[in-house]
Structure 1
Amino acid sequence: MAISSETIRKPSKPMVNGFDPASVGNLPDDVQKSIRRRDKSLGPGYRLFYNEPVEVVRAKGVTLFDRDGNDYLDVYNNVPCVGHAHPRVIAAVHEQMQTLNTNTRYIQESILDYSEQLLSTFPSQLGHVMYTCTGSEANDLAMRVAKYATGHQGIIVTSGAYHGLTAEVASFSPSLGVGVPLGANVRVIDAPDALRFSSDNETLDEHLRTQVRGAIADLHRHGIGLAAFIADSIFSSDGIFAEPTGFLRPIIEEVHAAGGLYIADEVQPGFGRTGAEWWGFQRHGIVPDIVTMGKPMGNGIPIAAAVFRPELLEQFGKNIRYFNTFGGNSVAIAAAQAVLDVLREESLMENSLKVGGKILTELKQLTQDLEQVAEVRGSGLFVGVDLVTDRATLTPDGDTASAIVNRLRQERILISASGAQGNVLKLRPPMPFSMSDADRLIEALDRAFKVMH
């Protein structure tokens, strides 16, 4: 049976690699001063990474630099997908800023050229694109369209899902924890964790189908029909689940049978990061009704979008006034076009497959005899290392994950962690990550694993 919104009131786990303000007195004087200034002006809502925060003053490619010129290998930031400060993106934005920056209510060839090229990366059934500034806005728009098209309000998500920060989108992002309660129209199913799934009666596919059916039935019992199921196609905040491919098919079948829509959140796995395809959902052989994207789309310039089956927008477009002043503005489109060009011309999707494959293969070899590494998994340049207290119980070990994250920070290699207990090391670098970059990462992880062992 799926979990109702009323039963998932877990306290949120602190960010596994987050800075503990209580330790500020142990840091260098200049860092303490900066933190105190930050707290005074920005307040307590902001967080810093790592036990010893990193100050960055510039970046290039896959490398960040501090004020002393020390280099940090970036194995975390997917936003600069074509690399920090890529000259093509810089030039495109600079040139466009000198020429024109305005909204989508004027005819401009640039947005038409980009939209046609972007849509060409999708299955033919997906034919319209609408622009926003952030992935949160894109998911908000997608859900508005889903509710309007179906006439229903119910939403199904996975147990560790994160889809954004607006009030609406946060209401179906369970990973935010008890401080952000789920909406009464939200139902939660298990993450597709093949490692921990065990049953004599059903396969993982059948289990996911049963979960979705249960969620739909529960929505109906409460007088709420199904609007949409939404999932990040790599399940990044759930713990990174890429295999076995095809496990999304029973979900989309049940959703469509109930009259709902399937929304693929491609903010994290999209634009070729998983290696084999442009979009994460394609690995599973499905065609969603709506696809959302964001962060990497402009390499740091705020632009996001939602792509739709055209029939979903026929009545919505006629009857709903939707206009986003900055969504799809001239400068943002110039950045997005440069990113798309670079992804193709520098073969970054192929690079993700090649370098990501090396990382995945070598980490599996390194950890095959380690009791505290349950699994290494992922696709392309999106890799997770699942840490446990032991392989027999598969109990998540967030403390060890935090220790490794912070140990690598001391070696000037920046990673993060995800999963319900913060126990999955998350490796998600910019896409120009090279074989030598991979070697540096693997060697550092090898040293960390040996200390752990």
Structure 2
Amino acid sequence: MVQDALKLRTELTRPDVAPDDAARILLEHFGLSGTLSELGSQQDRNYRIDTGEARFVLKICRAAYDLQELQAQNAALLHLARQTGSVRAPQVVRALDGSDIVDVTVRGDAYRVRLLTYLDGVPLTRRKHLTAETVAALGDIAGRLAVALRDFDHAGLDRELQWDLRHAAPVALHLLAAMNDEGLKKRIAEAMVASMRRLQPLTADLRVQAIHHDVTDDNVVGQPDAAGRPFPDSVIDFGDILKGWLVAELAVTCASLLHHADGDPLFILPAITAFHAVCPLEESELKALWPLIVARAAVLVASSERQLTIDPDNAYVQGNAAHEREIFDVAVSVPPALMQQAILCAVDAAPEKTLTVIGEGLLVEIEPAGVRQIDLSILSPLLPEERWQHQGLPASLLQTAAHAIGMASTRYGEYRLTESALRASRPTSTFALHVDLCLPVGTVVRAPFAGGTEWHDGRVLLNGPAVVLHLTGLEPPEDAEEAVAAGAPIGTVVDAGHGLGLMRVQLCREPGLIPPLFVPAHQADAWRALCPSPSGILGFDCDAPVLHSTELLDRRQQHFARPQKNYYSKPPQIERGWKEYLFDVEGRAYLDMVNNVTILGHGHPRLAAAVGRQWSLLNTNSRFHYASVAEFSERLAALAPDGLDTVFLVNSGSEANDLALRLAWAFSGERNVVSLLEAYHGWTVASDAVSTSIADNPRALETRPDWVHAVVAPNTYRGQFRGSDTTDHYVRSVATKLRELEDGAQGLAGFICEPVYGNAGGIPLPKGYLDAVYAMVRQRGGVCIADEVQVGYGRLGDYFWGFEEQGVVPDIITIAKGMGNGHPLGAVITRREIADALEKEGYFFSSSGGSPVSSVVGHTVLDLIEEEKLQDNARVVGGYLKTRLQALEQRFPLVGAVHGMGLYLGVEFVRDRNTLEPAKEETAAICDRLLELGVIMQPTGDHLNVLKIKPPLCLSRESADFFADMLTRVLDEGW
């Protein structure tokens, strides 16, 4: 009976009702007219009607649909409408005769028609990427809807529907019979058999109630948030409502999310936790959830294949077929046992991750003190520089350690740097689920518990009552038996070279599963539950220390002053760097695209060696006489234009700019300083005073002291005057300010600005701007300060100093950041007479500015910039990257402009290219999404709508491509 009803339903085509037919029905039965647009459906025909005053959905189905079923849908909508705070859903519109379902005939075929209100919003299915918050919101809606329908009942809910997961097996069997793709057919059949095997023992305990059964990314709509991301708030299309398993409600929702998952089925976990929070599931339901998701995925694919054979022109089915195939591929990509554990862990219902093995002995006779554990983590001293990338390194380190002490082991539960991968858009598998032991050849390995043994391709399995032991690196005993007692020999260690053998040890709770050796960090909890630590059978603690990143962040926030912000709301714990990469404690490698401090790149061995050597010799203050401060000062002066021959060494860019202002005051005898709007120069009292960026200080414009005179920012993209021919306009704004000072009988101390507009994203100043402004300033006795802290030192590629692009020579140059490659080092370079003017106020001293270590750092950085041709690399790779980024302007309206040169670039996002409305929220969300894809990126500018692209100058072309590819992907798929 069920089979016959399902066969009838699965062979229905959509109603043959054209727009003209629909318009006639609408006017005749509902007295409405308007613009009609067809909406997608698998077996119905739906039209959206816009009357000019309201919008509706006309739903047309074949008369084969039982009248009671349609009545049940309408009754459910009325039921929800009566509940305060319920899920938002369409309302039923009655026909002119008062009925809510109308029977019509079109060209001899009988149909049933209903009219519902139309809910405005965007369905999630149109966006490839969904945030965890959006996924959770979908689960929350499904859970609240299940709760709201708990006390709803109707005779029409007892129906035979192909989507009812209680009938997934017979439905799939029927659909597969007509499928031509034998390969797909076999995969679906195998998935269904495996799912039914896990599901069958649980079905008697699964609760039954009224469920919507189609809360999917296609059947919820919502309004975009401030960043343009859709956030579901309403449920549409109650066509699949029935009385079924409660957990099936969530299974359908989760299956729909898998084509947004980027291949990772654990992507659905936020939906599960959100559903469970409002509609708690029982243990049997939690265990049934994943088999039902797989079954739903199988039926979706089989149904689409079947529907296209009988209705090949159905664009809706054609459009869904690709992502339904993706849903199925993701659903069968992982062991069902893993997903069961992940689901249980997500709702805190998982078993203990540790395992007490019941047995009479250990695997091998080992004295814990006689085992040396090697550290392969991010902080390992055994992995200097790039050595972690060498294949075979763990085995080599094990053998070296074992030669020294007799036995050595790796650690279970360790996030290994040796498994990290560069330029990976997804977290790589770094978490170790096994232990490797290096021990003498011939060591006898004994069964720690009784069980049956199996040998497969060099692997021996010991199947115990609670767990399976997996071993490699052994040879079986001559009298090997299938069943062994606890303590009986099961093999001996074979020679791996130099009289030592390598044995791999792994436990797994799931019979028949060959577990992976390493898994990604976000899967670690689930896999730990499946593959517990072997410490209990080894006789020593082989576990790596547990990470406490969240607790560490809490400690930081408790004791580290709040104004000292960190990147990201949920930051990864970064503990290592190499070249243009950063590594978190879980072994994830990130491409660092913002760190203009480390100009050489992270972890440079030459610099580390130079610092270590100098520190071992001497580190003191610059009042002492030693060589390095003289040599470094001489070298800095040689890099500056003729006449700028005197150097001050300080600790930071803020101090450098503060000192430059003091020099201007001392030399000119005046106090007033002209600076630019949108600028940032530092955090000291003086450097902060001339900083006007409201991104760094929201009150910047209202808290400037009276000696600071800010002029219009010469921002040729979004400033008061736009385009290339704007120099005179911006120069006049400075001239006007200078005349105001003269009219008030006020003198001028100087003018400070970045030669390239750094905080706005690297926008070049208008051609000739600094030449004209510098002349006016000097004419009035002021000095010209070039803040090169961000833009200088070769970062621009074509120029070592930013002011060279403008063809000018300043009176004072300030530098920091890259000159120390992360070491606190800054400098002021000026003329002798300007420097000497400071002596009127006393001498200048910086405790660690110009110290032996700081001077050696500065000298070594300059050596390496020259030797490794980093300025040339900034020009070549930076130019290539800019070309790739400019190509995005043609594809994505959000990309307003690409600024900068060399490896100081900015991508500015706008919501409208005419008004230049800043896309602030979108930019923040894009940065968060880039972090997920393995790229460190942050916004800049007064409106925080510009990506600040300032990576180490060693950035490779491959890394530039990775960044451009990931940004393209974010703009393409959503954030």
With the length of structure 2 as denominator, give the TM-score of the two structures.
0.42
Between the aligned partners of 2:722 and 2:798, the Cα distance in structure 1 is 33
Aligned residue identity for 1:177:
N
Cα gap change, 1:452/1:231 in structure 2, threshold over 3 Å: closer, same or farther? farther
Q: 1:157 aligns with which of 666, 669, 675?
A: 675
CA contact (8 A) 1:55 1:66 kept: yes
Alignment of 1:78-97 (within 5 A): 78-97=596-615
Matches of 1:121 and 1:207, distance apart in 2: 33
Establish whether residue 195 from structure 1 lines up as the match of residue 710 from structure 2: no
CA distance, structure 2, for counterparts of residue 355 and residue 203 of structure 1: 29
Question: Which deviates the most, 168-177 or 322-331?
Answer: 168-177
Q: CA deviation at 1:104?
A: 1.9
Q: Distance in 2 between matches of 1:329 and 1:119?
A: 17
| Residue equivalent to 1:102 | 620
Q: Deviations over 1:134-165 (max 9, x none)?
A: 11111111111101111111111111111111
Amino acid at match of 1:114: F
Match of 2:879 in 1: 357
Pairs within 5 Å for 1:324-403: 324-403=846-925
**Partner residue of 2:782?**
260
Instruction: Give matches, 1:163-202, under 5 Å.
Output: 163-175=681-693, 176-179=696-699, 181-197=703-719
Partner of 2:592: 74
- Which residue of 1 is the match for residue 837 of structure 2? 315
Match of 1:368, SS? helix
Bigger mean CA deviation after superposition, 389-398 or 41-50: 41-50
Please state how far the C-alpha of 1:288 moved relative to its aligned partner.
0.2
Q: How many residues align?
A: 429
Which residue of the partner structure matches residue 555 of structure 2?
37
SS at match of 1:296: helix
3-state SS in 2 of match to 1:360? helix
Aligned partner (choices 808, 828, 834) of residue 306 of structure 1? 828
Asked whether the 8 Å contact 2:815–2:828 carries over to 1, the reply is yes
Q: Is the 8 A contact 2:582 2:591 kept in 1?
A: yes
How many angstroms apart in 1 are the aligned matches of 2:962 and 2:674?
Answer: 40
Q: Deviations over 1:177-221 (max 9, x none)?
A: 344521111111122211235769994211221111122223334
- Separation of aligned partners in 2, 1:115 and 1:145: 18
2:756 paired with 1:234: yes
Does the C-alpha gap of structure 1 residues 108 and 234 become closer, same or farther in structure 2, counting only changes over 3 Å? same
Rounded Cα–Cα distance in structure 1 between residues aligned with 2:918 and 2:730: 22
Alignment of 1:127-138 (within 5 A): 127-138=645-656
**Residue 305 of structure 1: SS of its match in structure 2?**
strand
> 105-114 vs 413-422, which deviates more?
105-114
Tell me how far apart the structure 2 counterparts of residues 109 and 56 of structure 1 sit (CA, whole Å). Answer: 36
Q: 1:243 to 1:214 in 2, by over 3 A?
A: closer
Whichever residue aligns with residue 235 of structure 1, its letter is Y
- Residues of 1 paired with 2:656 and 2:714: CA distance? 24
CA distance in 2 between partners of 1:166 and 1:316 (Å)? 18
The equivalent of 1:448 in structure 2 is 970
Q: Are the aligned partners of 2:725 and 2:766 in contact in 1 as well (CA < 8 Å)?
A: no
**Aligned residue type for 1:105:** R
Report whether the alignment pairs 1:59 with 2:577.
yes
State the shift of 1:369 in Å.
3.9
Distance 1:201 1:177, change over 3 A: closer
d(CA) in 1 for partners of 2:584 and 2:720? 47
Distance in 1 (CA, whole Å) between partners of 2:593 and 2:669 is 42
Structure 2 segments unaligned to the other structure (5+ residues): 1-226, 228-273, 275-345, 347-521, 523-546
Q: Spell out, residue by residue over 1:327-364, the C-alpha distance to the aligned partner (whole angstroms, 9 max, x if none).
A: 10000001111100000000000000000001111111
Query: Which structure is higher in RCO with an 8 Å CA cutoff and minimum separation 6?
Result: 1
The one-letter code sitting in structure 1 at the alignment partner of 2:870 is L
CA distance in 2, matches of 1:423, 1:324: 37
1:416 aligns with 2:938: yes
Contact 1:134 1:295 in 2 (8 A): yes
Structure 1 or 2, whichever has the larger Rg, is 2
- Aligned AA (1:279): W
Q: Please, which of 636, 644, 648 is the counterpart of residue 118 of structure 1?
A: 636
Distance 1:139 1:367 in 2: 36
State the match for 1:23 in structure 2.
none
Letter of the aligned partner of 1:44 in structure 2? R
Change (3 A) 1:369 1:150: same
- Does structure 2 retain, via aligned residues, the 8 Å contact 1:192–1:241? no
CA gap of 1:89–1:66, structure 2 versus 1, over 3 A, is: same
Asked if 2 retains the 8 angstrom alpha-carbon contact of 1:197 and 1:204, the reply is: no
Instruction: Look up the match of 1:286.
Output: 808
Paired position in structure 1 for 2:793 = 271
| More deviation, 306-315/291-300 | 306-315
| Distance verdict in 2 for CA 1:313–1:394, change over 3 Å | same
Aligned residue type for 2:552: S
Task: Tell me whether 66-75 or 363-372 shows the greater mean CA deviation.
Answer: 363-372
Instruction: Decide whether aligned partners of structure 1 residues 312 and 323 sit closer, same or farther in structure 2, where only a CA change above 3 A counts.
Output: same
The residue identity in structure 1 corresponding to 2:679 is A
Alignment partners' CA distance in 1, 2:631 and 2:730: 40
1:382-403 alpha-carbon deviations (Å, 9 max, x no partner): 1001111111111222111111
Taking a change above 3 Å as real, the CA distance of residues 386 and 264 of structure 1, as seen in their structure-2 partners, is same
Q: What is the SS of the residue equivalent to 1:120? A: helix
Q: Deviation digits for residues 230-279 of structure 1, max 9, x if unmatched?
A: 11222221332125544322221221222211100111111100001211
- Which residue of 1 is the match for residue 114 of structure 2? none
CA distance in 2, matches of 1:285, 1:65: 41
Contact 2:900 2:906 in 1 (8 A): yes
CA distance in 1, matches of 2:593, 2:684: 27
Q: Bigger CA drift: 338-347 or 390-399?
A: 390-399
Write the mapping of 1:212-251 to structure 2, written as runs, cut at 5 A: 212-242=734-764, 244-251=766-773
**TM-score for the superposition, normalised by structure 1:** 0.90
> Is 1:149–1:312's contact at 8 Å kept on the other side of the alignment?
yes
Using the TM superposition, give the Cα deviation of residue 310 of structure 1 relative to its aligned residue in structure 2, in angstroms: 1.9
CA distance in 2: counterparts of 1:368 and 1:198, whole angstroms:
25
Partner of 1:13: none
Residues in 2 aligned to 1:148 and 1:253: alpha-carbon distance in whole angstroms = 20
Counterparts of 2:824 and 2:911 in 1: how far apart (Å)?
Answer: 40
CA 1:440–1:321: 2 relative to 1, 3 Å: same
Structure 1, 275-284 or 230-239: larger mean CA deviation: 230-239
- Is the partner of 1:114 in helix, strand or coil? helix
Mapped to 1, the partners of 2:619 and 2:571 lie a distance apart of 36
- 3-state SS of 1:351 partner: helix
Q: Is 2:727–2:767's contact at 8 Å kept on the other side of the alignment?
A: no
Secondary structure of residue in 2 paired with 1:174: coil
Q: How high is the sequence identity, in percent, across the aligned residues?
A: 35
Deviations 1:272-295 (A, max 9, x none): 000012111111101000000111
Match of 1:430 among 906, 929, 952: 952
Residues 82 and 201 (structure 1), Cα distance of their counterparts in 2 relative to 1, 3 Å cut = closer
Instruction: Name the CA shift for 1:443/1:281 in 2 (closer, same or farther; >3 Å).
Output: same
Kindly indicate whether the alpha-carbon contact (under 8 Å) linking 1:246 and 1:283 is maintained by their aligned counterparts in 2. no
* 1:6 matched residue in structure 2: none
Contact 1:275 1:353 in 2 (8 A): yes
Q: CA 1:33/1:279 → structure 2, altered by over 3 Å: closer, same or farther?
A: same
Does the CA-based 8 Å contact 1:138-1:293 persist in structure 2? yes
Q: 1: distance between equivalents of 2:723 and 2:626?
A: 57
Q: Is the 8 A contact 2:761 2:899 kept in 1?
A: no
